[in-house]
């Protein structure tokens, strides 16, 4: 049940290969970044402008497995989820907030394009899953290396909990 609606719909391209890890209870969690872009003509200069927005997307459960196996850097994807902001501690002890798009039960994921538009006939990733301890900074953040948020601690993840 819900009082209210909290819905995000994205169509964009995946910024890097998905990162999948597994919770103690066996549930999969997959992280990706999705880029969406707008372009428009600047009224002043008359030049074509473009802006790219990066979205952190976190899949849970069955969709986490599918996303981890089939999405690749460059994949075009439709995603439907909900906004969630979590708090984490920076190395300086200060609170930081990161907003993510959560895709679980009630969400949706659709690969777009009739084939792998970015990688030809490369097979999907083998379905095995060594939990990566050191998650690299996301592609969007690599310019000047701001401190990345840690992977969320979803150890208490449970089918009861709707996230």
- Candidates 19-27, 35-43, 124-132, 148-156 — which segment interacts with DNA by CB under 7 A? 35-43
The token pair that represents 73 in the structure block: 């850097």
| 112 binding partner (options a copy of itself, DNA, none; Cβ < 5 to 8 Å by kind) | a copy of itself
Distance CA 161, CA 163 (A): 6
Site string for a copy of itself, 110-149 (x = CB under 8 A): x-xxxx-xx---------------------------xx--
| DSSP of 103-151 | ESTT-EEEE-SSS-TTTTTPPPPPS--PPPSSPPPPGGGTTT-PPPPPP
Give residues in contact with DNA (CB under 7 A): 3, 12-16, 33, 35, 37, 39, 50, 52, 54, 73-74, 76, 114-115, 117-118, 138-140, 142-143
């Amino acid at each position: 049940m819900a009082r209210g609606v909290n819905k995000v719909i994205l169509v964009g391209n995946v910024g890097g290969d998905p990162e999948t890890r597994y919770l103690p209870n066996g549930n999969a969690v997959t992280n990706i970044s999705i880029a969406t872009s707008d372009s428009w003509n600047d009224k002043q200069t008359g030049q074509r402008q473009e802006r790219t927005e990066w979205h952190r997307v976190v899949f849970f459960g069955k969709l986490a497995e599918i996303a981890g196996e089939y999405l690749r850097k460059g994949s075009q994807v439709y995603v439907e989820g909900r906004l969630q902001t979590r708090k984490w501690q920076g190395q300086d002890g200060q609170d930081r907030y990161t907003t993510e798009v959560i895709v679980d039960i009630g969400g949706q994921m659709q690969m777009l394009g009739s084939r792998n538009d970015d990688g030809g006939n490369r097979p999907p990733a083998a379905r095995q899953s060594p939990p990566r301890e050191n998650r690299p900074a996301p592609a969007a953040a690599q310019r000047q290396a701001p401190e990345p948020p840690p992977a969320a601690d979803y150890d208490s993840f449970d089918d009861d909990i709707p996230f």
